[in-house]
Amino acid sequence: MTEKDRERYSRHILFAGLGEQGQERLLAAHAAIVGCGALGSFHAAALARAGVGKITIIDRDYVEPSNLQRQWLFEEADAAQALPKAVAAERRLASINSSIAVRGIVADLTPENIEELAGEAQVILDGTDNFETRYLINDFALSRAIPWIYGAAVGSYGLTMPVLPGRTACLRCLYPEPPAGAQPTCETAGVLNSITAVIAALQTADALKILAGQAGTVQARLTTVDVWEGGIRHIEQPARDPDCPACGARDFVYLDGQRRAPVSLCGRNAVQIHERARPLDLAALGAALRPLGEVRANEFALRFFTGPHELTIFPDGRAIIKGTTDIGLARSLYARYVGS
């Protein structure tokens, strides 16, 4: 470590849990952040300030004015230019810490690219907004024995849980299947900016322990927080389920692509998401979406208009997203307005 580093990271070095050795490890470490919204942009800034030597950020979205209320890295100019979040994050982090390597990747994380994007990471931080991507991370992390930190927040509530392959339960021990029906999302139910900071900070603390070589001190528990109506609760993580399809049977159906909702281009400027076995209550979804844009619905389909896009959503969970040929953007709109 150089003298400059010793000065820059002195408060970490003074902290007994890290010390100079822990900081040395951080400087040589590599973390991957999947999703650079409220959680991910907090992870990115915190890890960059901590001096984590290599940070890979994977995000498929663009900065919008409604992101600025909680997405800590972005500024008005990023939204005005509709910059990809991964690009805006990479630029901002370069001004926070110019001595680390940040790679911003504008992409949808898929079974095809996850090895290339996250295969060298020592920890993967969940900043996503959907279960499909979380299950993919879970499968990949188990298959490669890479720890990952689950996190989610909506409204004033959030939760986080570390997954340490071989030691703790995994996401599918906790939730064997994705939640059914439409789920509340930050777009439909709103989100307080402070809950995103709390959850992201807890995730970051676990990530720093792992990267500093102290994975043994990460506690196998689920932490839930409500910053408005309740407090913080720690729940012992359930034991690993020996019948878990992922960490028990090692049948990685999300990693081999079997469970991915097929998507195809349809028509000149539209993408179809062929969700399977996801019955939706269109009346309830319509009520949730009506404050956000025009909704036209009948018993066969619901049409929702947002910006240049039109989502036609069917009772079986299938959707056609008009106004784009970008499959990643279509998946993102689906996750935002219908739920993971």
Binding residues for Zn ion, per CB under 5 A?
A: 170, 172-173, 244, 246-247
Could you tell me whether strands 263-265 and 148-154 are parallel, antiparallel, or unpaired per DSSP bridges?
A: unpaired
**CA–CA distance, 110 with 98 (Å, rounded to integer):** 30
Smallest distance, Å, CB 237 to Zn ion? 11
Distance of CA 44 to the CA centre of its chain: 12
Which residue number, 77 or 239, has a Cβ lying nearer to Zn ion? 239
**55 touches 48 (CB < 8 A):** yes
Q: Which amino acid is located at 4 in the chain? A: K
Place of tokens 């919008």: 64
C-alpha Rg value of the chain to the nearest Å:
20
Q: Which is nearer to Zn ion, 43 or 172 (CB)?
A: 172
Token digits of residue 283: 């009346």
What one-character DSSP code corresponds to residue 286? H
Shortest separation between residue 112's beta carbon and Zn ion, angstroms: 24
Nearer to Zn ion by Cβ, of 231 and 242: the residue is 242
- Residues facing residue 155 across a β-bridge: 191
Q: Are 36 and 57 in contact (CB under 8 A)?
A: yes
Closest CB to Zn ion among 92 and 172?
A: 172
Taking the alpha carbons at both ends of the chain, their separation in whole angstroms is 43
Q: Residues 321, 324, 325, CA angle at the centre, nearest 5°?
A: 105
CB of 308 to Zn ion, least distance (A): 41
- 186 as an active site residue: the answer is yes
Beta-carbon neighbour count of residue 248 at 10 Å?
A: 15
CA dihedral sign, ordered 178, 182, 186, 190: negative
Nearer to Zn ion, 172 or 209 (CB): 172
- H-helix or E-strand containing 31? strand 30-34
Instruction: Give the nearer residue to Zn ion in terms of CB position, either 170 or 227.
Output: 170
Question: Which entry of 36, 186, 244, 247 is annotated as an active-site residue?
Answer: 186
Q: Write out the two tokens for 236.
A: 């012992």
What residues act catalytically?
Answer: 186
